[in-house]
């Protein structure tokens, strides 16, 4: 059995670490073709959001909301897309996807974007600046 990659991230987030909250850890997403894309990962390994207690789900979303507001303050998107999928990695996590004013396909989800556009060209220093901006906004 392979280890869960998101359990690994929770244990040792490394350079992508943004913040630790009560139920979750916020990390910078890989796809910085959408600058500020952040992933909020549940600390506990749970595979199905709907199996958690309703109050716990609401509390987790409160953390997603806090992080999303900080992302909005840091990168000033036109809109934010929120997605909890688990189709690829079945460990509860939330994508906070900022859609910029110059987004080439604002009416569509980002899942039709080519992989290299998703990934973008942001270097390590750029990623560190985005993380610093989100952290500052989180307070």
Q: Does 138 bind a copy of itself (CB under 8 A)?
A: no
- Report, in Å, the least distance between residue 134 CB and a copy of itself: 13
**How far is residue 40 CA from its own chain's centroid?**
5
Bridge partners of residue 85, in order along the sequence: none
| Backbone conformation region of residue 40, classed left if phi is above 0, alpha if psi is from -120 to 50, else beta | beta
Choices 20-28, 33-41, 106-114, 120-128 (CB under 8 A): range interacting with a copy of itself: 106-114
1 versus 55: smaller Cβ distance to a copy of itself: 55
Residues 42-101 that bind a copy of itself (CB under 8 A): 48-50, 54-55, 57-59, 61-62, 65-66, 68-69, 72, 79-88, 90, 99
CB pairs under 8 A, 24+ apart, for 53-59?
56/23, 59/22, 59/23
Is residue 5 helix, strand or coil?
Answer: helix
Rounded Cα distance between 6 and 128, Å, is 21
Q: Does 106 bind a copy of itself (CB under 8 A)?
A: yes
Rounded Cα distance between 18 and 130, Å, is 10
Residues 110-129 that bind a copy of itself (CB under 8 A): 111-112
Is residue 17 helix, strand or coil?
Answer: strand
- Report, in Å, the least distance between residue 87 CB and a copy of itself: 5
Q: Which residues bind a copy of itself (CB under 8 A)?
A: 48-50, 54-55, 57-59, 61-62, 65-66, 68-69, 72, 79-88, 90, 99, 106-109, 111-112
């Amino acid at each position: 059995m392979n280890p869960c990659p998101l359990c690994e991230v929770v244990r040792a987030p490394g350079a992508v670490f943004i913040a630790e909250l009560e139920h979750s850890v916020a990390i910078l997403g890989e796809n910085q073709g959408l600058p500020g894309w952040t992933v909020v990962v549940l600390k506990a390994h749970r595979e199905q959001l709907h199996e958690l207690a309703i109050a716990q789900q609401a509390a987790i979303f409160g953390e997603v909301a806090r992080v999303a507001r900080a992302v909005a303050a840091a990168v000033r998107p036109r809109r934010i897309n929120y997605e909890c999928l688990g189709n690829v990695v079945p460990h509860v996590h939330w994508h906070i996807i900022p859609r910029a004013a110059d987004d080439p396909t604002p009416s569509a989800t980002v899942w039709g974007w080519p992989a290299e556009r998703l990934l973008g060209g942001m270097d390590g220093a750029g990623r560190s600046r985005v993380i610093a901006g989100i952290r500052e906004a989180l307070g």
